[in-house]
Amino acid sequence: MARVKICGITREADRRAAVDAGADAVGVITEVPVDSPREVDPATAAELLADVPPFVTATLVTMPDSAERAVELARTTAPDAIQLHGEWTVDELRYIRAETERKVLLTVDAADLARAEEFDGAIDAMVVDSTDDSGAGGTGETHDWRATGELAERLTTPVVLAGGLTADNVAEAVRVADPFAVDVASGVEIAGGRKDHNAVARFVANAGREMELA
């Protein structure tokens, strides 16, 4: 069974739709150095994360310019988990994890899986995504799901499959990669930064379809 994270929540109604659909985690994006329709300011991120109910992981998604800033953002937005994009060292990730006492996820690019191995065991989950040159996500691009599945078999750290997933391809992605979780942002939108509630519900249902058939 793959768990589901709905990422890039910018509005309360979208957060509610994700929770009502049965998402295991919601992601709120702040402080990223790219122009994203899914980015909100830290105060809005704090509000959106605060009202995530129990048993759903409130995830802060960010690309701050230092480990200290990551810790500060975690303090002001109070998430359950922090998903970092960009270039980080193992020591920096360990520092952020220890200082915040939060679960730390690192996003790695699917085209550079050799880099992923270096972080095995140092973080709580690894998001394998189709990132842009800066390491940002939300590209809407798919990648080699089989290679991600093979990586997941080698690592002890849980792997989250992201990048170009939609309600129509997520069941196949789960079948091929068998990830710990799947993550979607642009693939369930009606417009940039606004979720299509029907697509969100279909995505969550289809991510679990393989389990229903088993």
Ligand X SMILES: O=C(O)c1ccccc1NCC(=O)[C@H](O)[C@H](O)COP(=O)(O)O
- Distance, CA of 21 to CA of 81 (rounded, Å): 20
| Least distance CB 4 / ligand X (angstroms) | 11
Residue 49 or 213: which CB sits closer to ligand X?
49
- Distance, CA of 7 to CA of 27 (rounded, Å): 4
| Least distance CB 178 / ligand X (angstroms) | 18
Residue 46 or 106: which CB sits closer to ligand X?
106
Residue 27 or 179: which CB sits closer to ligand X?
27
Residue 87 or 98: which CB sits closer to ligand X?
87
| Least distance CB 78 / ligand X (angstroms) | 19
| Least distance CB 8 / ligand X (angstroms) | 5
β 189-191/25-30 pair status:
unpaired
Burial of 156 (0-12, 13-18, 19+ CB in 10 A): exposed
Residue 67 or 188: which CB sits closer to ligand X?
188
Contacts with ligand X by CB under 6 A lie at 7-8, 27, 29, 32, 34, 36, 38, 61, 63, 85, 129, 136-140, 162-165, 183-187
Residue 60 or 213: which CB sits closer to ligand X?
60
What is the chain's length? 214
Report the 10 Å Cβ neighbour count for 51: 11
Instruction: Name 58's bridge partners.
Output: 26
| Least distance CB 29 / ligand X (angstroms) | 5
| Least distance CB 211 / ligand X (angstroms) | 21
